[in-house]
Amino acid sequence: MSRSLRVTPWVTLAVAVILLIAATAASLFWGSRSIDPGTVATVLGRLPGILTGQDSGAGADMDTAVVLNRIPRTVTAVLVGAALAAAGAGMQGVSRNPLGDPGLLGLSSGAAAGVVLALGWLGAHSSWQIALAALIGCTVAAGLVFGLSQIGGGAPTPIGLTLSGAAVNAGFVAVTSAVVLTNQAVLERYRYWNVGSVSRTDTGDLATAAPLVLIGVALLLAGASGLNAMALGDELAHGLGVDLGVQRGLVFVGIVVLAGSATAIAGPIAFVGLLVPHAIRRVVGGDYRWLIVLSLLLGPALLLVADTLGRVVAPPQEIYVGITTVVLGVPVLLALLRRRRGVTL
C-alpha cells in the first residue's frame, strides 16, 4: 500500500500549469546572461511582427538578441518534454511495466540509429528527412521489443519487455557506433546531437516536430481509456467490451510518433518519460487520462528547469540538458522507487 499523498487531479492540474509557466519564464529570463522581465515582455510583444516579416528587428540590442535566441530552445524544450513524458506514460500503460520508457526500452536508440543511418547512407539533411528517419528507426525498435518479448507465446510481460528492450537498445547502440566510427562527417554531427540538447533547433525543426507531437498526443489520449482497462488485465478488459487490438494500436503508434519526433530534434534524452509519470502516479493515482494530461505539463516543466540549470551553473559554458536531466532524475527516481514498495500499476 502506497503511503503517497493523493491530491485531487484538478488541484494537481492547476499546480502543473503554474509550474510550467514559472519554468517557461525562468527559461527566458535566466542563463549565462540574465534578462529583465520588461525586456522579455517587449520582445514577446514584437515577436508576431518579427515572424511575419513586418518587424525587421532592426536596432535590436544584445538583450533582445538573447531573448530571440532563447525562444526557439524554450519551445523545443516544451515540445520534447511533453512528447517524452507522455510517451513514457503510454509505454508504462501499454506494457504494464513500471520501467516503461522510450529510452530504457530501446525506442530512443532505435530513432538515433535511424537518424545516423540516414545521415551516413542517404545524405539526409532537412528537418523532415531526419524526422522520418527517426520515426522509422523508432518503429523498428518498438516492433522488435514487443516481438522479442513474445517469443515462446503469450502476451508481453513486464520482465520480457525489459529484457528485450535492453537487448534491442544494445543492438541499436552498436549499429550507431559502427556507423559514426567509420564516417567522420556523420561523427561530427552526431557527437553534439547524441548528448541531448534543445539549443540547436530552428523554426524549420519546430515546424516539422510540432504537428507530429500533436498527432502523437491525440493518439495517446484516444487510447487512454483503453489503458485504464488494460491495467485490470486482458480478460477483464475484454469483458468490459474494450477492443484491445485497436486501443493498443492507437497507443503504440502515438508512442512511436512522440518518441521519434522528440529524438529527431533534441537527441536521446533519458529519464523524462520514466520519472514524470512515476511522480504523477504517486499524487493522482493510476488513471491514464490524467497521467497523460499532467505529463504534457510536467514533462516540459522538468526539461525547462534542467535546461535553465545547465545554462546558469557554469557560465558562459553550457551543460547540455541530456546531462542535467540525468543528474536531476536519478536521485529523484531512486527516492520514488524506494517509497513505492510494491505498488502496482
> Residue 2 — pLDDT band, cuts 50, 70, 90?
very low
Mean pLDDT of 86-94: 91
pLDDT at 15: 96
pLDDT at 156: 65
pLDDT above 70 coverage of the chain, percent: 91
Q: What domains lie within the chain, and their CATH numbers?
A: 9-340 (1.10.3470.10)
pLDDT in tens, 23-60: 999 999 998 888 999 989 988 888 887 777 676 655 56
Rounded Cα gap, residues 258 and 270, in angstroms: 14
Rounded Cα gap, residues 29 and 185, in angstroms: 36
> Residue 172 — pLDDT band, cuts 50, 70, 90?
very high
Taking alpha carbons only, the member of 134, 120, 132, 107 closest to residue 179 is 120
C-alpha cell at 28: 527566458
pLDDT at 239: 76
Quote the Cα angle for 192-198-200, to 5°: 60
> Residue 62 — pLDDT band, cuts 50, 70, 90?
confident
- Whether residue 135 contacts residue 120, with contact meaning beta carbons closer than 8 Å, is answered with no
pLDDT at 110 over 90: yes
Mean pLDDT of the chain: 85
